[in-house]
Amino acid sequence: MNTNEKKRPLEIIILGGGIAGLATALALTKFAPEDAVPRIHIFEIRPVPATIGGAVNLTPNALRMLDHLGVYDVIRERNYGKDIDELEVFDLHSTKLAVSDFKGPEGKGIGNPPFKALRITRGDSLKAVLEVIRRQENIMLTCGKRTVDIKETQDDVTITFEDGGFCTADILMGCDGIHSVTRLKHVDPAREETYTGVCNAFGFARVPKGFEVHFKCTALNFSRRGVMLTSYHESTMESVYVGALMAVPDIGTGRDGWKQVGADAEKTRADILRRFGDAKIPCVRPLIEMTEDFYLWPVFTLSKDGKWSTNRCMLLGDAAHAMPPQGESTGIVFEDTVIFSRCLARWMEKGMPGGHPKEAFEVYEKMRKARIADAFEESRAVIGSVADSSWLGHTLKTYAIPWYLWYTRRSRDKHFEEDVTQVELDY
C-alpha cells in the first residue's frame, strides 16, 4: 500500500439523523487526518430530522464536546437554552433536600475551560448541530430512507433501502437509537430492547408573568409515585419544562400500542395529577394543569453486555448501550463520538493496518466499555427511585438522597471536568 492509499478519504455511512448520528459526522470530520477527511453519507428514516422532544440537561463535559465540534457557538449565537448554576432537589411533600451545583470552585463552571450546565430542548440542540452540519462540504444528509438490508464483505458494507436504492461504503456507523436497524439486522440481532417499566411523560407550560416557582433554574422533585422534573429551558423564563418519570405497567402491544396510549395527552395529564397533584409545593399542580400537551414515552434499555461492532460496522450511542436517563446520557453520547473518531483517525494515520477498521473499533471498545458499565449501574438507581414506594420507603429515600449526592460529588465532578479530546488513546 502506497502513501496515497494509506490516507485516502474513507466513505462512511451513518444510519440515524438524530443527535448521535449528526455529532458523529462532525467528530469524524474534525479529527480525521487533514489530507483524508472522510466523505460521510447520513441516512435518516424520517422525512425530516426530528426537532421535537423534551428538554435535556447538557452537563459541563457535554458542552465541552459541543464546543470542540463548533456547536456551542451556534447555541450561544441563537440564545438557545437556559444556563444552569445548580440542580435543586425537593421532596414534593415536605421541603428542599439537597443541591447539586455546576459552579465550580470560582463560580465560573467546572473543568478547563470551565462550563456550567445548560437546559435545552432536544429540538434546539438538534437545530444547532444541523446548522454546523450544513457548513460541512463532506457531509450529506438524506431523509426519508428506510434501510431493509445490510451486507458486509471483507472490502466494504452495503445498505439497501426500501425503495430499492442502495449505498456502499468502507464503514457503517449505527447511530439509529434503541430500535437500531444496524444492530437488529446485522451487528447483534439477538440483542433486543426491553421495557424498563418506566415512562417519561413531558410537556411545556407557558407561565404568566409573576408566576412563582419553587426553584431558581431547575429542580428534581421526588414523590411516593415517581419523580418530576421542573425546569426553565430558555432565557426569557416564560416556559417551564415539566417531565414526569413514573412506573407504568407494560401494555404488551409493542411500539404501536405505546404510540396509541401516548397520543392521549389528557389521560396522561390525569395520571400525572393523580401521582403529583397533592404536592405541598404550591406551583406543582398549576404547572401540570398549564402544560399544553403531554407526550408519553416508554423508556427502553439494552442488556449491559453486548456486541458493538463487526469488521466494518460500529454501533454508537443508544444503538449500543441504551439505558434509562441518569443525568449524563447526552454527554456520554458526545464523548462516544469524539473518542471513536480519534481512534479511527489514529488507525488511518497508522496506514489502516489490516485493511478494515476492526483494530480501531477494538481500541475504542476497550477504552469505553468500563465507563458505559458504570453509567449503566447509575441508571439502575434511577429506576429504583421512580418505583412506587410506601410512606416509610419514601421517607428513607429522602434521607438517603442528600447523603448520596454528597458521597458521589467527587466522581460527578471528575466526569464533568473530563475532556476526552485529551485522553491518551490505547494505541
H or E stretch covering 48:
none
Cis status, amide bond into 113, omega within 30 of 0: yes
For the whole model, what pTM was predicted? 0.93
Judge contact between 40 and 14, C-beta under 8 A: yes
What is the sign, positive or negative, of the torsion defined by CA atoms of 45, 170, 360, 150? positive
Which residue would you say has higher pLDDT here, 50 or 281?
281
pLDDT tens string 134-190: 999 999 999 999 999 999 999 999 999 999 999 999 999 999 999 999 999 999 999
Q: Which residues contact 65 (CB under 8 A, 6 or more apart)?
A: 23, 331, 334, 335, 337, 338, 420, 421
Judge contact between 80 and 128, C-beta under 8 A: yes
Q: What is the pLDDT of residue 180?
A: 96
What's the whole-number mean pLDDT along residues 409-427?
89
Which residue would you say has higher pLDDT here, 210 or 381?
210
Q: What is the pLDDT of residue 1?
A: 38
CA distance 175 to 160: 17
What's the whole-number mean pLDDT along residues 116-132?
96
Match 437546559 to its residue by C-alpha cell.
119
pLDDT tens string 284-329: 999 999 999 899 888 889 987 899 999 999 999 999 998 877 555 6
Q: Where are the beta strands (DSSP E) in 340-413?
A: none
pLDDT tens string 2-20: 444 445 789 999 999 999 9
pLDDT tens string 206-235: 999 999 999 999 999 999 999 999 999 999
Q: What is the pLDDT of residue 236?
A: 94
Per-position b or e across 163-184, b if 16+ CB within 10 A of its CB: eeeebebbbbbbbbbbebbbbb
> Which residue blocks in 8-154 are alpha helix, DSSP H?
19-31, 60-68, 71-77, 122-134
Q: What is the pLDDT of residue 3?
A: 41
pLDDT tens string 20-78: 999 999 999 999 998 899 999 999 999 988 777 889 999 999 999 999 999 999 999 99
Whether 202 has a pLDDT exceeding 90, the answer reads yes
Judge contact between 136 and 25, C-beta under 8 A: yes
What's the whole-number mean pLDDT along residues 96-113?
93
Q: How confident is the model at residue 337 (pLDDT cuts 50, 70, 90)?
A: very high
Q: How confident is the model at residue 250 (pLDDT cuts 50, 70, 90)?
A: confident
Residue 196: helix, strand or coil by DSSP?
strand
Per the prediction, the chain carries an average pLDDT of 91
Nearest to 167, CA basis, from 294, 280, 39: 39
